[in-house]
Every structure is written in structure tokens, then in C-alpha cells.
Structure 1
Amino acid sequence: MLIMHRLSSVQLLYILIIVLLLYVKQGPRFISAAERAKLRCIERERQALLSFKQELAYPSGLLSSWGSDDEEKSDCCKWVGVGCNNRTGRITMLDLHGLAVGGNITDSLLELQHLNYLDISDNSFYGNPFPSFVGSLRKLRYLSLSNNGLIGRLSYQLGNLSSLQSLDLSYNFHVSFESLDWLSRLSFLEHLHLTGNHLTQASDWMQVVNKLPRLKDLQLSDCSLLSIVPPALSFVNSSRSLSILDLSFNQLSSSIVPWLSNSSDSLVDLDLSANQLQGFIPDAFGKMTSLTNLHLADNQLEGGIPRSFGGMCSLRELDLSSNNLSGPLPRSIRNMHGCVENSLKSLQLRDNQLHGSLPDFTRFSSVTELDLSHNKLNGSLPKRFRQRSELVSLNLSDNQLTGSLPDVAMLSSLREFHIYNNRLDGNVSESSGSLSQLEKLNVGRNSLQGVMSEAHFSNLSKLQDLDLSHNSLVLKFTYDWAPPFLLNYLYLSSCNLGPHFPQWLRNQNNLWVLDISGTGISDTIPNWFWDLSNSDLTLLNFSHNNMRGMLPDLSSKYAEIVGVDLSSNQFEGPLPPFPLQTIALDLSNNMFSGSNSAICKIAGPQLISLDLSKNLLSGNLPNCLIPFDGLEFLDLADNNFSGRIPRSLGSLLVLRTLNLRNNSFSGRLPLSLKKCTDLMFLDLTINKLHGKIPAWMGESLLSLKFLFLQSNEFYGSIPSHFCRLRHIKILNLSLNNISGIIPKCLNNYTAMIQKGELTDITSGKLGLGQPGQHVNKAWVEWKGRQYEYVRSLGLFRIIDFAGNKLTGEIPEEITSLLELVALNLSGNNLTGGIPLKIGQLKQLESLDLSGNQLSGVTPSSTASLSFLSCLNLSYNNLSGKIPSGTQLQSFNASAFSGNLALCGLPVTHKCPGDEATPRPLANTDNQGNETVVDEFRRWFYTALGIGFGVFFWGVSGALLLKRSRRDMPISGSWTKHGTGST
């Protein structure tokens, strides 16, 4: 009490305040520690989550903990994706990303006013309106609604989230972003991701970014940003903290570079790939000394690498792929001499126009990945590298490099080595066997030769992918050699492995792809191969060998296999069944026979491509193709099928190729085929089909590009509906009994006016020679001989109506088909003259009009057909002089035989006036002019000669034309075809 009396009232008041503060501070801490075990979430927030859950569609059991009656699980703070404050029990976090939930996003979440972290990204709220209510959750610091397919207009209420540090609205393609001005109110924002949204109308995005002083990470990839830079853009308030900037896959031009320069001191990661940058690479990038990663791929940049890049001491990744960079590669490499040599890890220069030899890149001591593929490098490789390199991946594929493979002993860290499709020759060095880290080796499509043995693979225990295909290599191993590796991919096409089936494959039970086509194997396939355990084989190619024997039932083996190519061997016996997952199956050019019902069970409903051509299959084609309703390519050519074409083919609604060539099918075409509206290739050559050519072909099969109906028994006229086949490129109706006139609407064939592309016939989902492609084959008469074309078929534009009974005139409209390369109308009853504008067909290489009743003169424009190398106008009624020109005079006279009134070279009959009469010396007057007497004499002799010629040829021609046409020789071009292949 004495002490209390001595203290003043003010001092006493201070003491009381301190005590109270200590009590307030310490008291709750002890209370919280004592009661924390009993702390539960706030009930109204719990109910809000349950209301939110009621509107969700979610996989069974995924959110089963929400709302459980169990006392332990009833605490919402312990629910999946929910986080609470340890002191107050308030819900502060809701993280449901990637749970595949859907349904509706309700505003019941507004009850969670203490929420600072909300992530419902990567779910299935497609079609939901953008949840504008989230703009009222003012304590949010992290918000992610990405990859949900939300629709509607973006809520400007998001600008109220003043505490927001991270915002991710990526991949909501149907949300309207008219302006981004609301972002400028988020002064604490550090991470902004709007990737995959359409910001075409949000032209203010650069001004907004300038107003975000703390922004570090900006992701605007694939946002349709245009190359519009405001002329008076102020850099005063721009974000100098920006370190990660992704503007890839937009439409930005090089005018964006000055705006970037203001952040040059802070930028660490810059991605401008897939834009419209043009011209030389700006030096401004070289001045961004903080850059670690620079990606400028897929633009239109030119020249080489600037010297300023040599001073980028922090640069680790540089990607300049898919541009128009040119010049010698060694010069670009020299420009990078400097501190970048010690920092650079990855250099991507693929798909440019760089040329020259490959320099010794080992001076870049830190580089681990180097890609120079798809350039024009045309020098040789270094024989050896000077110093040891840390290189992990080296890709030099698709260039024109020459010489031999280098000694790679210095590249001991190498895991991937690709030098596919160059011009390398010589032997493969045994130093490859020292690359103990090597996982992928691809040296295919070169001219390498010599023998490879165990020494080349002695230490390659980690090898997974091996491609030695399309070389002249001989692989010789001891019979009991066991490779140290287990491969996933093995491509040995065109190497020499035979004659025995390679025994060393016995332990390769991890194979996904096996291609040993064309490797000289003349052997049966051992049983152990079909019994390989744990195999995930998906593609198998044994084609173009001499393998023989019968195949086992494969339907239960290789359950993952999707493509099988056993073509061009000597396999025999019945067709075996293949696994249900098989997509592409090629058994062509073998000796399979037996029951045709096996076709019905050969594979499952996944089958897309089936090639059984060139076998010994016979009898009726079973009416069971409905299970293959996804079939796109069906080739049954060169068998001995007979009977009618089954109606079930019409159930193959996505069929694009149907080849029934050279069988014995008879009867009429089934009407059901009109349902196959996707047909592009139809070959019915050399069968016994009859009836009128169906008009529905020109009504329903409007996608046709290649139509072969020759050597059948079709009759009637060419349907006028054929004029609708705008995409047709080869139309062959030869050797039938077709009559009537040639339709005048041929100028509707617009595809014959356009240049050809190989892609016309390389279409489909899967092929074994080239993954993702199916290649059609067709026999084409070319310059009087038959050839089987495989890969160049799409370049042809051909009309062949030979050997029919067509009458009338050749329509003038045919001369508008400017890309026509072959026209054969021989062996018909055509009359009239050759179209005067025939010279417009500048691409014509083969023209056969023989064996008709054509009359008149040979048009003078014919002499301008400079590509013409095969011509037959024989056995018509043509007359007059053959037009002068080196092209026509270079043909044999037989090309014009049987036209008795033709004259001039190359035929022997000279035209009147062709024989030069000796010219007498003219009498001249004093001015040097010929006298009137000599001029009269010249005209007199000329007239006399012409009169005699007309009399002689008139009488002789009349006598000759009385000969019966039965004695006229028949043109060989439409009665008997030669053979050939290409």
C-alpha cells in the first residue's frame, strides 16, 4: 500500500494498462493451446460447402468425406481440399484442382469471407457462366479458375480483389475479355496467367502491365494478341520486376522489342515463339543480360546469330528453331564466342537454312543439348572432337552432311544421337560401343556400309531406341550373342540380317516397334518369337523378305499391337486372326488361301486399313464386313474372288479406298456403295462387271479423285452426273462397251486444272512405312505401257476412254484442263477435228487419238506441246501438212500412219511446194528491180506445180480410200498393253 501511495495516478494507470495487455496477449494463447484439439470449423461455413457440393457432379467417392455423419469426419477442416486457420477455425483454403468435378459453381462460397486461396482449376465446368461472385471474396490472395471452359463476360469485380497476388484464368476460351483495365487496381499482383484466352479486343494489355509494379510472372501465350504497339506508350511506371514473360503463339511483330527493353534488367525467361517477328535478330535481346531462357522459335527471323549474344553470361537455353536463319553455321557459332560458352545448356537451331560444315562445338563446355536438324548443312563432320563434352543430346538429322561418322569417344555423356537422313558413307566406328550412357541412336537413311558386330554395342547397356534402317550395313553376330540392352524401338529396314531369323532378338521382350523389313531373311519365324513374354509390341514390320510358313493364331498374342505389315513374303495357309486392337494390317503379296470366312474374323472393330492384295484367295467375298464399320482402306486386288460384290460394302460408311482390281467379280455394282460418300479411290479394273455405269457415282461419290473402271463389260453412255466429280484426277473408263458422246462438261473437273501433290494419295490414320499415312497403289497406262505407281500417283491428271464405242466430236472444253498429262481417246468412233486449242494443254506428255475417224488438219498449236513425248494420231482421216516444230518432227512416222492425206515430216509424203525449184537469175532494170517478165514466169511455174499436185493427190486419194477399213491395222495402244513397274 505504501508503494501504491508513492505512485502517482498517471504511473498507476500505465501499470494497469501493461498488465491488461499482458493478460490479453498471454491469456488467449493458453486458451488456444488447451482447446485446439476441440477446434472445429464454423458451422455456417460447413453448410456453405455442403450447399456447394450439392450442385457438383463428381466421381463417386471422391468427395465422400464431405458431410459424413462420423464425428471425426464431420469437421470440414479435415475434408479433402479444405484448409482452415489453426486459431480461428475459419476456412482459408479451398483446393479442388484436377478432381474432375463438374456441375454448377454456386455463390454459396460467398459465406467463406476469410478465404485467401481458391483453386478449382482443371475440372469440367464447361458451359458454366464465369462465377462473378468471386470478386466479393476480398481476402483472396490466390485464385485459379483455369482450364474449365467457362463462358460469358469476365467480371470486372475481380478488380476489387486488392490483396490478390496470383491470378490464373488460362484456357477459358469462351470468356470475353474486352478490356484488362480492371487489372491495374491489383497492385499486389505478382503472377498473372491468361494463356489460351482471346484477348484480341483487349488492346490495352501493355498499358495495364505497366501499372503492375510487382508483376513477376506474365503468361499470355495463345491469346490472339495483335502486333499493335501504342505510339506514345509510357515506360515510366512499367513493371521492372517482370522476370517471366510468355507471349508465344500470338501475332506480335518485331515492334514489341522496344517495349521489352524496359524490363531488360529483370527478365529471366522470355518466350516469343510462334509470332510474326521478322528481319534480323535484334541486338536488344543480347543486352538482356539477366536472361536465362530465350525462345524465338517459329518466327520469320533472318540472318545469323548476333555477336551480342556472346555476352549473355546467364543464358542457358536459346531456341531459334523454325525461322529463316541462313549463312554458314561456323560463322554463327563464332559470333557466340564469349561468356555464353560457359553458361549455355541448350541450343536449338533446327528447321532453318544454315549451311556449311559442322564446327567443333565441344568448346561450348556446358552445352548438353544441341539440335541442328532440318537445315542445309553440307560439309563433313569433324573426324574427332578436341575435348570432352557434357553433351547429352545431339540431333543432326535431315541435312546433307557427307563423309563418315566421327569418332565419338569424347562424347561420353551422350544419351541421344540423331543423324538420320544425311549423305554419310563409310563404316561405323566401333567407338560407338563406348557410349555407355547412350539411350537413342538414329543413323537411318544414309549410305553407311560395312559390318557391325558385338563390338559396336558392347557397352550400350542403356540403349532403348536403335535405328540403322536404309543403309547398306551388314549385322553379324555370333549365334549365342545376348545384347546388353533391352530395346523399345528397333528399325533395321534394308540392312542385311539374313538369311536366318536373328536369334539375338530372343531376349528383346520390351519392344514396342520392330521393323526388320527388307533384310534378306529367308527363314521361317521361330515359335519363340511368337511367345515372347511381357511384350508391349505395337508395330511389327517383316515385309519384303523371303519368310515362309504358316502363321499361328495371333489374336491372343501382342494385345497392344495396332499395326502389322507382313507383305511381300511367302506366307501361306489360311488367314490367321489378329488381336482386336489391330488398326492396320497388310498381308499383301503372299500365298494366303483357304476359307474366305476368315476375313470376317481377321481383326476387331478397330481395323482401319486391310490389304490382302496379291494372294491366292478365291471364291465369293463373304457378306460380313459390317463389324469393320471404321474401315477406311480395303485392298483385295489381284486375287481370284468371284461372284457379286457384296452389298455389305455399303455399310463401310467411312471407306476412302476400295481396290478390287484383277479379280472375277461379276454382275452389277451394288447400289449400297452410294452410301460410301467418303470414297476417294475406287479401282474395279479387270473384272466381269456389267450394266450401265451407275449415275449415282456422280451424285453421291463426290469425293472421288481416282476412278478406274477399265476392262469390264459396262455399256451405255457416260452419265452426265459424272460432270459433278470436281475432284477427279484420273478417270479411266477404257476397254468397255461405252457408247454415246463425250460430255462437254469436262471443264468442271477443276482438279485437272490444278497442280498435283503427292499428298493426294498419302492419307489415313496409320501406315507402317510412314506412320500416320496410307499409300494407294494403281496401275496406270503411261506412254503405251502399264506401270504400277505407288507414291507419285497424286501428280497425274489422266483421262482414258480408249477402246469403247464413243461417237461425236472431241469437245473443245477438254482443252481447258490445263494440268492434263495424258489423254487417250483411241479406238473409238470419234469424228470431227482435233480441237484447235489443243496446244493449251502445256503439261501434256502423252496423247493418243488413234483408231478414230477424225478429219481435218493437225492444229498448228500441237507443235507447242513441248513436254509431249508419246503421240499417236494414226489411222484417222487427217489431212494437210503436219505443223512444223521440233517436237512433232521428232516422232516416228508410225505416229501418223494411216492418214493418207497427211504430208510433211516425219511422214514420207512431201507437201506441194516442199521441193525447191531452181530459181533463175532475175533480169533487173537499172534500179535493180526484177522485170515483169521474170515475175510472171515465177507465178506461172508455181501455179502449174500446184495444179498437178491437186490432180495427182485427188485421184490417188480417192482410189486409196476405197479400200475396206477391215484391212486397217489396229492401234496397239488400246488393244494390247505393255507392262512395267515403278
Structure 2
Amino acid sequence: MNSCVFIIIFWLLLLLLVTTTGSQLVAAGGNDMKKKCLDKERDALLLIRAPLQDPHGTLSTWTADDHDCCNWSGVTCSNQTGHVTGLDMRFYGLGGEISHSLLNLTYLNHLDLSLNYFHGTIPTIIGSLTRLRYLNLGSNDFNGTIPRSIGSLTELNNLDLSSNSLYGTIPPEFGNLTNLQYLYLNSVGRCRVEKVEWLSHLSQLEVLVMDGVSLSKANHWVDAISSLPKLFDLSLDGCELSQVMYPYSSSFLNSSSSSISFLSLRNNNLTSSMYRWLSPLTTNNLLSLDLSGNMLDGIPKYFGNLCSLEYLGFYNNSAVVKFPDFLNNLFGCTSLTLQMLITRGSQFTGSLSDEIQKFASLESLYLSDNQLNGSISEKLWELPSLETVIISFNNLTVPSTYHLSNISYVKYLDLSSCKVGPRFPKWIQTLKNLTSLDLSNTGISDAIPLEFWDMWPSQLEYLNLSSNNISGKVPDLLSNFAYDSVIDLSSNSFHGPILNVPSTLSILNLSRNKFSGGISFICQIVDGFLSFLDLSHNSLTGQLPDCLWHFDQLEVLNLGHNNLFGRLPPSIGSLIQLQVLYVYDNNFSGELPLSLKNCTSLISLNLGANKFSGNVPVWIGESLTGLYVVILRSNNFFGTIPLQLCQLPNLQVLDLSMNNLHGSIPSCLSNLTSMLHQGGFSQDVYFQTTRGYATRAGRYVDHALIEWQGDEREFLNTLKLLKSIDLSSNNLTGQIPNEITNLSDLIALNFSMNTLSGEIPQHIGEMKKLLTLDLSRNNLSGKIPSGMSQMSLLNYLDLSYNHFSGRIPSSTQLQSFPPSTYHGNKDYVDLPLPKNVQGMKNRSNIGDW
């Protein structure tokens, strides 16, 4: 008996040993038998790579030395045949055109060239790769028309041509792609569909995205959509659907096409007549509906029957209806499922009433930029799932008498430009989980309770209390904010020194307050997130500390209108991302540090109203070639105007006034090409942070104090529209160069209070866009050029205290200026001014600057 058991065990072990060994041999043999790529296809890949730009070296493995291309980056081969079956070069940073050698990869079934810089036309030979099941050419620079040959790829189940620069008609041959499940044609360029019948043949289609493709001539598009039984995601944003003839259309959300779960028809200028396309809207599959950017005046009653709807986008419409009525049409099963409602900018009126409590599943509510009024119902805060409340820019009032005890779930709250003050709302302190708070411009004129600053240790990401009249001191904030956070306390009445601030800030705006003391606290911001720092218009003193090496991401630095002094520190040259540097109206002195030439990203430089000295650096023109604005006014610069400034092609504002410059005006100023042609800044300065419920971004408001029409004026937000040269109040000599009249797009020119001589250039009349011209208090002589009568936009002219002679050229414009315009010219023969003509100094053609 025991021997039998032994024999059985022996044979079982032997069988296990043989099986294991056999498996290992098969596996080893399988590895040995794995096919290498074919020489013909390897050569084709090398030819494909040859003309491509590969700045990041992502195709460095594609070399003739490696004979097995199956090991190359992005290449997939068949283990059985060695044929190349897949090319995945998504986001490789490649550029150039697609080689026709692609045709030799006849077994290719997967081709992804998306998110690169390929250009030229899409080669027609791509239609010969008939084994393709996946083709993605999206997010490139392809141009031309879409090849009809793509219709030959009948095995395709995914086609993506999105985000290119194509044009023309979508080929009707696409109707041959009967296996297609995913079709992305969004942002393809200027493409259109004229005959839409091909779409109805794509019976397997599940996702259709055609944003930006014109369907204005596709009258039967609704019928085509309704014939796609598996379609669950449809996006037709910006497809000119308002131009489709409604009588030829029927409903596409009916029982035969109830599979649609995601529907977006944004930005089509649709009116409420479009609702016939959706009626009867009874599907229980619809999860998301976006009708934003249209001309809809509400929603129909049957919207309350969408028992699965979680997202409703209705922003930027022209509703002009009462918001409670809008909500009433959502009552029903929809009010039980809706999680996100976005209706910003839709002109809703009425109040945010108690009816909001019926939306028990609501998580996010966006009602900003409407015309809502009245008090915000306390019922809003009782919604059990509510996390995001954005109701800014309304006439809503937030009662200070709220008695809220359990709203800790709210994380993102924006009440900007609502009526919250004058007292600081104590109920805010019940929001224990708050990460983003915006109470800007809410009428608060109170001090902030100290306990407010300790509410959210290390979790607050965004705090905006700007444009109020909040007083008091700001305590130590080191432990209150998360990484990459934002603090905006600007335009208030905070006072006292600025103490510790978080080292993790990305945006800090404390401008237009009453802060005092030094600014050594900026040396604590060491984590490299800071992109925006504005401390302007305070009473800060001391020197700018030499610790700016940490700020390699800083784009905007504004220290203007304070009492800072000393030299600019050498470390300012480490701000290699800096685009805006404003230190105007302080007491800085000394020469500009040579390291500043390293700030090659600068586009706006304002160092005016300080005590800087030395020559105007030549490296401003040699190294900072992206500058649009150079303001060095009211300093102690001396020497001549460097010719290198003429090398700034984008320069629109040059202000060297009120210095000690001498020599002549460079004739090469006529090389400032931005002043020769129409146009403004091609680049805005944006600061942003992505935090919480949204990306917080805003264009930086350029501002500068500039001499304008005899007075100093602060330009706000429109500095980018100004094209101005101001060299006044220096010691410049010589004649006004004739070449200056080539600056035909110049708006303001001021050479006053120098010792210039000679005549006004005869062709000055060609500067037809000049609004203000000041040549006063020089030694100019001769006659006023007759061409000035053509300067019809000129509304400020000062030629006083020179040596002009003769008569005013015949022109209503020139003769209507007040006598002070020509005062102090002894040899000047005056002409009688028309009576009742108001001085042109009081007129303006530039609007509200």
C-alpha cells in the first residue's frame, strides 16, 4: 500500500517537473522567435524621421545602427510578423511635414501624431493605410482641405483631426467609415458640412464632436443625428445652427435616439425656437446639457422631466426672465439630480429665493454677472452637498444676521460686488472647509476680527478682499495658506508693517493701502511660486533687499509710489521671467545695475520719478528688445540719447523727459516700427493660478504717469493704446530730424523745454494721427508748415515761446486754437480767431483714458 502511494507521488512530481520545464522552454523559445522589424519598414521609418524637427530628441533611438526598429521610441510591432503596426508620437514636440514613406508601413493599424507641430497638407496617401483602426492628427498645424481618401479607411473606429487649420467641405466619403465609433472634428479650421447624409451611415458612432464646423447649409442635420442609435456624446458648439432652416428639422432627442447622455450646443446664437429640436425631451439618459452662449429666453417646462440630468450650462444667454421662474421649470425629478447649474451672464432678474432648497443634490452654483436682487435666502446654505457658490456681480444682499451652524461643506465662495458690508460678516467663520473666498468690492468698511485669520490653517488657496475700505493691521500669515496660493488685499485701508507672509504664494497684491515699514518680508517667499507682486501706492520705506534670486517665476513686480530708496540690488537680474517692472515715484538712486540686462522678458519698464543717474544704458536697446514701454522720466540721467534705443521694434511709449540729457535727437527714432504701423500691444501680461473651482486669471492693468496735453495724467488700462515720444525738459540741441515725420501712427509728441533750433519739418502734416504736439519753449523758427492744416485729429498744440514768423496756415483746426498756443513768438503775424470757438485743449478725441 505504501509502495503504491510512493509510486503515485513519484509520477506526479515527475509530471510537474516536465510541465514546468516545458513551459520555460516554450517561453525561451518564444523570446528567441520574436520577429525583428523588416528592413523595408525600418528604412521607411528613417525616411519619415529625416525631414522632421526634433528639438527634444524624442526620436534619438531611431538610428540606422539599431537594426531592430521594434525597439524604437513610439514604435509597436507584431511579435509574429515583425511588421510595424503602431506609431505613437503623441506630444513629442516634432515639426515638419509627413513623409510619403509612411505609405510603406502597410500593416499600420494605430497612428497618433497629435500634439505636435506638423504642418503642410494632410497627405492623401494616408488613405492607403487601409488597416488603420486609430488615426489621430489633432492639435497640429495642418492646413489645406481634408483628403477624401480618408474615406477609404473603412476599419477606422477612431478619427481625430481636431485643432488644425483646415478648410473646405467635410468629405462625404466619411460616410464609408461605418466602423467609426469616435469622430473629433472640433476646431479643425474653417470647415463646413453641406450635405449631411453621410453622417447617418455611421451607425456605430458613439462620440461626435464638431465644434466650429459650419452646419448652416446642413438643413437635415437633426434627422441625421437622430439616426445614430449608439450616439451618447454630441457636441456642436459654434456650428452656426441659428442659420439652419427650422422647418426642415425635427427632434433628435426622442425615443429612437435616447442614448445621448452629453449634449452641447453652445455659441450658436440660437433662440428659443430651437427647443423643437429637443421636444419631447423625456430621455432618462441625459446627464449633461449645455446651451450656453445663445439667445435663449428661458427653458421649457419639460426640462423638469430630465431625471438623470446632473449638469446644466445656461451662461451668456439673454434670458431677461426672473430667476425663480427659471427654477420653476426645473422642478420635478431634475431638481433631485442636478449637481451643477451655471447661468452666469444671462441677464436673470428676481431674487435667489427659498425655492433653491428643492435642489437637494446641488454641488455647484454659478450665478455671477446677472441682475439678481434682494437678499440671498438662508435656505441656500442648507443644501447638504453644496461646495461651490459663485454669485458675484449681482445686486444681491447678504444679511449680516445669518444664523448658520452647519455649512462647513462650502469650499469655494465668491460674493464679489454683492452687498455684504459695512460690517465684516461673522458667519464667514462657520465655513470651516473654505479654500477660496472672494469678498472684493462688497462695501465692507470694518476691521477684520483676528480670529478670521486663524480659521483655515494651511488650507486657504485664494483670498480676495480688495476694493473695500477694510482697516486694521494684517497679522502674521505664515501658516494660513496652501501652496501656490493667492492673496489680494489691494485698495483698502490696511495699515502698519507687513509682517510674515507665506513662502508659498504665487500672487500677492497689497497695493493701494497704508502699509508702512520695510519690505524685507519678501525674502521669506523662497519656494519659487511667486509670479505677481504688487506693493505699489503705500508708504513703504527702506531699501529693496538683495534677495531676489528666489523669484525666478516672477512676471510682475510693482513697487511704485512708495518711499523706497537706495540702489536697485544686483539680484534683480535673476528675474528672467519678469515682464513688468515698475518702481516709479520712489527715491531710488544710483546707476541702473548691469544685471538688469538679463531680464530679457521685459515688455514694460517704468523707473520714472526717482533719482537714478548716469547715462541711459545702451543695453536697454541691445538686450531688452521686447520692450513696449520705456519710462525714465524725472530722474538725473545725463549724456546723449543712446542710438541703441532705436533697435526696439515694439516700442510704443518712450519717455525720457525731465532729465539732463544733451545732444541731438537721433534721426534713427524713425526705425521704431511699432510707431509706423497701426496696431497695439501684441502681448498682454497675464497672471493666473489654477486653484479650486476655477482658473484665477486677469490681465495686468498697465498704468503710468505721463505728460499729456500740458498736464500729468495717469493712464489706466489703456497705456497699450498709446504711442508716444516725450523728450521734453532736457538740454537737447540741434534740429528736429525730418525722419521723425515717418512715425505716422504716433499719437503724442513732446519736444518742449529744450534748446532745439531750425524749422518744423515740412512733412509733419503726414503725422495725421497726432492728437497732441508740444514744441514750446525752444529756439525754433520759420513758418508753420502748411501741411499741418491736414492734421485734423490734433486737439492739443503748443508752439509758444519760439521764434516762428508768418501767418497761421488756412485751417479751421489751426486757427481755432487759443492765443496761448502761439504766445511768445515775436515775429508772428496773428490772425483773428473765430469767435465762440472753445479752446481745443478742452476737447478730446481719445475718449476716457
Length-normalised TM-score, structure 2: 0.79
Quickly say closer, same or farther: Cα 1:599–1:239, change in 2 above 3 A. Answer: closer
2:13 aligned with 1:43:
no
Residues in 1 aligned to 2:337 and 2:171: alpha-carbon distance in whole angstroms: 51
Residues in 2 aligned to 1:676 and 1:144: alpha-carbon distance in whole angstroms: 41
2:68 aligned with 1:128:
no
- Structure 1 portions without partners, runs of 5+: 1-30, 54-101, 107-119, 393-409, 909-972, 974-980
Q: CA deviation at 1:734?
A: 0.9
Quickly say closer, same or farther: Cα 1:341–1:842, change in 2 above 3 A. Answer: farther
Q: CA deviation at 1:723?
A: 0.7
Quickly say closer, same or farther: Cα 1:774–1:652, change in 2 above 3 A. Answer: same
> Which among 720, 731, 743 is matched to residue 805 of structure 1?
731
2:284 aligned with 1:357:
no
Paired residues of 2:222 and 2:250 also in contact (CA < 8 A): no
AA at the equivalent of 2:356: S
Q: CA deviation at 1:795?
A: 1.1
Paired residues of 2:490 and 2:513 also in contact (CA < 8 A): yes
Residues in 2 aligned to 1:633 and 1:427: alpha-carbon distance in whole angstroms: 40
Residues in 2 aligned to 1:609 and 1:174: alpha-carbon distance in whole angstroms: 31
Paired residues of 1:730 and 1:799 also in contact (CA < 8 A): yes
Q: Give the aligned partner of residue 968 of structure 1.
A: none
Residues in 1 aligned to 2:489 and 2:633: alpha-carbon distance in whole angstroms: 30
Q: Secondary structure at the match of 2:756?
A: strand
| Matches for 1:448-487 after TM superposition, within 5 Å | 448-455=372-379, 457=380, 459-478=382-401, 480-482=403-405, 484=407, 486-487=409-410
Deviations 1:97-139 (A, max 9, x none): xxxxx99999xxxxxxxxxxxxx9xxxx9x626244546179x
Worse-superposed segment, 427-436 or 632-641? 427-436
2:275 aligned with 1:333:
yes
> Which among 541, 552, 556 is matched to residue 479 of structure 2?
556
Q: Give the aligned partner of residue 22 of structure 1.
A: none
Paired residues of 1:309 and 1:340 also in contact (CA < 8 A): no
Paired residues of 1:310 and 1:338 also in contact (CA < 8 A): no
Q: CA deviation at 1:719?
A: 1.0
Paired residues of 2:734 and 2:756 also in contact (CA < 8 A): yes
Q: Give the aligned partner of residue 587 of structure 2.
A: 664
Paired residues of 1:832 and 1:853 also in contact (CA < 8 A): yes
2:380 aligned with 1:435:
no
Residues in 1 aligned to 2:768 and 2:73: alpha-carbon distance in whole angstroms: 59
AA at the equivalent of 1:822: A
AA at the equivalent of 1:797: K
Quickly say closer, same or farther: Cα 1:371–1:719, change in 2 above 3 A. Answer: same
AA at the equivalent of 2:499: P
2:198 aligned with 1:260:
yes
Q: Secondary structure at the match of 1:271?
A: strand
Q: Secondary structure at the match of 1:854?
A: strand
Q: CA deviation at 1:556?
A: 2.8
Residues in 2 aligned to 1:648 and 1:748: alpha-carbon distance in whole angstroms: 33
Q: Give the aligned partner of residue 791 of structure 1.
A: 717
Q: CA deviation at 1:711?
A: 1.0
Paired residues of 1:755 and 1:795 also in contact (CA < 8 A): no
> Which among 814, 824, 828 is matched to residue 898 of structure 1?
824
Q: Give the aligned partner of residue 384 of structure 1.
A: 325
Q: CA deviation at 1:837?
A: 2.9
| Matches for 1:746-757 after TM superposition, within 5 Å | 746-757=669-680
Q: Give the aligned partner of residue 243 of structure 2.
A: 303
Q: Give the aligned partner of residue 780 of structure 2.
A: 854
RMSD: 4.6
Paired residues of 2:251 and 2:280 also in contact (CA < 8 A): yes
Quickly say closer, same or farther: Cα 1:757–1:202, change in 2 above 3 A. Answer: closer
Q: CA deviation at 1:222?
A: 4.0
| Matches for 1:814-853 after TM superposition, within 5 Å | 814-853=740-779
AA at the equivalent of 1:280: K
2:570 aligned with 1:647:
yes
2:530 aligned with 1:607:
yes
Worse-superposed segment, 516-525 or 744-753? 516-525
Q: Give the aligned partner of residue 727 of structure 1.
A: 650
Q: CA deviation at 1:43?
A: 1.0
Residues in 2 aligned to 1:171 and 1:761: alpha-carbon distance in whole angstroms: 28
Paired residues of 2:459 and 2:480 also in contact (CA < 8 A): no
> Which among 202, 206, 218 is matched to residue 281 of structure 1?
218
Residues in 2 aligned to 1:522 and 1:511: alpha-carbon distance in whole angstroms: 22
Quickly say closer, same or farther: Cα 1:849–1:39, change in 2 above 3 A. Answer: same
Q: Secondary structure at the match of 1:571?
A: strand
Residues in 2 aligned to 1:50 and 1:536: alpha-carbon distance in whole angstroms: 53
2:811 aligned with 1:885:
yes
AA at the equivalent of 1:415: Q
Residues in 2 aligned to 1:712 and 1:764: alpha-carbon distance in whole angstroms: 30
Paired residues of 1:588 and 1:612 also in contact (CA < 8 A): yes
Quickly say closer, same or farther: Cα 1:660–1:430, change in 2 above 3 A. Answer: same
Q: CA deviation at 1:518?
A: 2.4
Q: CA deviation at 1:536?
A: 2.8
> Which among 585, 595, 603 is matched to residue 680 of structure 1?
603
Quickly say closer, same or farther: Cα 1:874–1:228, change in 2 above 3 A. Answer: closer
2:678 aligned with 1:738:
no
Q: Give the aligned partner of residue 692 of structure 1.
A: 615
AA at the equivalent of 2:587: S
AA at the equivalent of 1:811: P
Deviations 1:741-761 (A, max 9, x none): 111122211222344547744
Q: Secondary structure at the match of 1:523?
A: coil
Q: Secondary structure at the match of 1:626?
A: helix
Residues in 2 aligned to 1:386 and 1:641: alpha-carbon distance in whole angstroms: 55
Deviations 1:143-167 (A, max 9, x none): 8968696999998897669xxxx86
Q: Give the aligned partner of residue 38 of structure 2.
A: none
Q: Give the aligned partner of residue 415 of structure 1.
A: 339
Q: CA deviation at 1:301?
A: 6.2
Paired residues of 1:625 and 1:648 also in contact (CA < 8 A): yes
> Which among 421, 442, 449 is matched to residue 498 of structure 1?
421
Q: Secondary structure at the match of 1:831?
A: strand
Quickly say closer, same or farther: Cα 1:499–1:358, change in 2 above 3 A. Answer: closer
Worse-superposed segment, 549-558 or 147-156? 147-156
Residues in 1 aligned to 2:462 and 2:430: alpha-carbon distance in whole angstroms: 18
Higher radius of gyration, 1 or 2: 1
AA at the equivalent of 1:360: P
AA at the equivalent of 2:275: I
Worse-superposed segment, 288-297 or 341-350? 341-350
Deviations 1:312-346 (A, max 9, x none): 331636856566x44x6033334655678898765
Residues in 1 aligned to 2:348 and 2:139: alpha-carbon distance in whole angstroms: 47
AA at the equivalent of 1:515: D
2:692 aligned with 1:771:
no
Q: CA deviation at 1:718?
A: 0.9
Length-normalised TM-score, structure 1: 0.69
Residues in 2 aligned to 1:787 and 1:627: alpha-carbon distance in whole angstroms: 35
Paired residues of 1:427 and 1:451 also in contact (CA < 8 A): yes
Q: CA deviation at 1:904?
A: 1.9
Aligned length: 779
Quickly say closer, same or farther: Cα 1:390–1:346, change in 2 above 3 A. Answer: farther
Paired residues of 1:177 and 1:199 also in contact (CA < 8 A): no
Quickly say closer, same or farther: Cα 1:275–1:826, change in 2 above 3 A. Answer: same
Residues in 1 aligned to 2:414 and 2:174: alpha-carbon distance in whole angstroms: 59
Deviations 1:446-465 (A, max 9, x none): 4444333525x254232222
Quickly say closer, same or farther: Cα 1:147–1:748, change in 2 above 3 A. Answer: closer
AA at the equivalent of 1:297: D
Residues in 2 aligned to 1:880 and 1:150: alpha-carbon distance in whole angstroms: 67
Q: CA deviation at 1:664?
A: 1.3
Identity %: 32
Q: CA deviation at 1:698?
A: 1.4
Residues in 2 aligned to 1:129 and 1:764: alpha-carbon distance in whole angstroms: 36
Quickly say closer, same or farther: Cα 1:216–1:104, change in 2 above 3 A. Answer: closer
Quickly say closer, same or farther: Cα 1:278–1:133, change in 2 above 3 A. Answer: same
Residues in 1 aligned to 2:151 and 2:518: alpha-carbon distance in whole angstroms: 73
Q: CA deviation at 1:865?
A: 2.9
